[in-house]
Copies of this chain bind each other. A is one copy, B any other.
Amino acid sequence: MTIHRLILIFELMKFSTEELIEGIQSGNKRLIAKAITLVESKKAEHRQQAEELLKKIMPFTGKSVRVGITGVPGAGKSTFIENFGRLVISQGKKVAVLAIDPSSAINKGSILGDKTRMEELSKEENAFIRPSPSSGFLGGVANTTFETMMICEAAGYDYILIETVGVGQSEVLVADITDVFLFLKIIGGGDELQGIKRGIMEMVDVIFINKVEESNFQKAKNTRLELKRALDFIPPKEKDWKVPVLLGSALHNQGLQEVFEKIDDFISLKKKNNRFEAVRTQQAEKRFEYWVQEYILSMMKRDNSVEEAYIQHKKNASAMVSNPSTEAKLFVEKFLRDSSFEFPGSENV
């Protein structure tokens, strides 16, 4: 265990659940950050405190507008979030910025990166910016952005902006925890649909074509036309909603007010269709299923002999020593036989 890691764990341990909750509710950004670090951890002792904390803040969650934001690198996501976030604050709202990164690793330097990227926004009293979770830092890779969002909601943030890094399944993960999905597009070189990640067009609720200037205005309009044509072939995600394709420039604060209004319209429509809460209910069910898997997996990995058995049986399966289903059955038998020990921390919950 490195010194750095020891310090981090020590730091976490310093605060009781009550102190963290008090910090969250009084808007203490340092304690909000600590609480988030806690829920990101997969260590058994942290998970127990994390569950306790989440349970207690539960009644204070759910009030925000949850916005997912995606776009290829270079689409201007950081600049967009910086200026859009400030616009939201100017309407008297509090904004939290999170990032989802299913593939992030230790020491990627994203903390420094995010902080400097959104310099102006981070100075705002009513903004909270959480860098990409450094998964693996405390020994886990579970995706905890949903739980981080709960903490931000309990701290009174009205808009939660969740940025994807565009890697792997990150858009699906974001779509699974947000109310509205925003796609930032830049003007392309002709074939506008080329380069759009598969599935994005089916997920999106609002499209913003960024970096539009006088010089490329005609091209921007062509891009819009092509996107609209593609959208015509995609069944609508929400009844009576036609995905708007907006033009603007995040850098020059152009078109951001329109994005804000369209998000508002979309949320209103969802509520009118009785779909707002219904979708959130479905999302919570998915989160439950996700965590059931996570916990079973963590049980498997926690016990060395179980993990060794997993590796061995998988190896047998891949070497076709016997068929994969037989090896799976042998493994699951062993796992269930050996897992009658106590769940970590269960006695105190």
Contact = CB atoms under 8 A, between A and B. Distances in A.
A320 to B, nearest CB: 6
A3 interface: no
A179 to B, nearest CB: 15
Contact of A54 (B295, B318, B326, B337): B326
A285 B150 contact: no
Given A147-B323, A317-B287, A323-B147, A336 B329 contact: no
A284 interface: yes
Contacts of A50: 325
A343 interface: yes
Nearest to A330: B349
A349 B310 CA distance: 18
A267 interface: no
Q: Report the contact-size class of chain A (Cβ under 8 Å from the partner).
A: 35 or more
Interface string A281-299: 1101101111110111001
Secondary structure class of chain A's binding surface, majority of residues: helix
A329 B291 contact: yes
Interface string A224-262: 000000000100000000000000000000000000000
A198 B313 CA distance: 34
Contacts of A62: 320
16 contacts: A47-B329, A54-B323, A54-B325, A55-B322, A55-B323, A62-B320, A147-B323, A281-B319, A287-B325, A288-B313, A288-B324, A291-B324, A291-B329, A292-B328, A294-B328, A333-B343
Given A146-B324, A198-B198, A289-B314, 16 more contacts: A47-B329, A55-B322, A58-B320, A58-B323, A150-B323, A198-B199, A198-B202, A282-B318, A284-B318, A285-B317, A288-B317, A288-B328, A289-B328, A295-B328, A339-B339, A340-B340
